[in-house]
Amino acid sequence: MFTLPKGYPLELGVIPEVIAAEGSEAVCSKLKKLQELIVGNIWTQLKGGYEFPILAALAPVKGLLTKCGEAWEVKEEEREKRKAEAIERQKAEAHRAELMRKEAEKEYNAWADQMAAIQERKDELDKETARAKSGSKGKRGNKAPRAVDPTDWKEGEPITQMKSKFQAHLAFVETEEDVDIALSTLKRSHKILRAYNMYAYRFKTRESNGRDKSADLGYHQDHDSDGEGGAGTKLQELLTLTGAEGVLVVVSRWYGGIHMGPLRFKLINRVARQILEDEGVIVPGAHHGGKKSK
């Protein structure tokens, strides 16, 4: 290879001086041909009477040196370009990582706030229970009022048909806040999250003094089908017809891959009614207003 002095102006129309010619065994043949070319040119020019034949002899390799320099510049530009692209990729990845971190932190804070609200509600319920017990102490025949704990879920017996599994869950509620706390507590289970969870709730609304309003307009109720179209409505009808109140009923269905048609609604109703009876919310066979059908 030909090595030029540092800072040598390649763009000038001058013939460079050869500082060194060297190479590995792999390029020896090329160097030999180049050497033969230079020697041949020198010999020819000596015969022609050139005063400085060595400089003239280097003229054929000027183009080769220029190409080498241009190729080196192209490689340098590509290397700088790749380096710049790598830096940009690193910046983009760092930006994405920061966005993901902030999103995760936001979700965690929301979850922590929700858990704190649940714990606060639970502490209040514990205090109410303690006050109720202390107030009834020493009074024979007076039963302490039940303090509602929306985190205390009751589970019914599951039913499996056509590879689909149905199971009812029940929690006692008195307010919308109780409903939210109960649902949040139930859905902390990964098993529950893998199912369709239709639900309905019904409780009496209360005035500021805590007394029940009139029965005809004093009930607050709502439902959700969670993809099982109409299931939530049927659960709501069950609570209304049986006179169940102060409860949230959730029926979980783990789909087995076989379409069941209307049969699934019968099974949803069956497990929901069973847990209402098991927990004493309605009497067995209740049809309307909590009364047993004739």
Q: What pLDDT score does 51 carry?
A: 57
- The per-residue DSSP string of 147-167 comes to PP-TT--EEPPPEEETTEEEE
Res 93 pLDDT > 70: yes
Q: What is the per-residue pLDDT across 133-168, written as a single tens digit (0 to 9) for each?
A: 665 544 444 433 445 788 889 999 999 999 999 999
Q: What pLDDT score does 205 carry?
A: 80
Q: What is the per-residue pLDDT across 94-130, written as a single tens digit (0 to 9) for each?
A: 999 999 999 888 888 888 887 887 777 777 777 776 7
What average pLDDT does this structure show over 204-212?
A: 60
Alpha-carbon separation of residue 166 from 200, 241, 259, 275 (angstroms) = 16, 22, 14, 12
At residue 24's C-alpha, the angle toward residues 21 and 27, to 5°, is 80
Determine the CATH number of domain 154-206+218-279: 3.30.230.30
Buried-state track 117-156, b at ≥16 Cβ within 10 A, e below 16 = ebeebbeebeeebeeeeeeeeeeeeeeeeebbbbbebeeb
Q: Write down the mean pLDDT value for the chain.
A: 76
At residue 84's C-alpha, the angle toward residues 80 and 90, to 5°, is 145
Res 172 pLDDT > 80: yes
Q: Residues in the chain, how many?
A: 294
Contact 203, 173 (CB under 8 A): yes
Q: What is the per-residue pLDDT across 209-260, written as a single tens digit (0 to 9) for each?
A: 545 444 445 788 999 988 888 899 999 999 999 889 999 999 999 998 898 8
Residue ranges of domains in the chain:
154-206+218-279
Tell me the C-alpha distance between 244 and 273, whole Å: 10
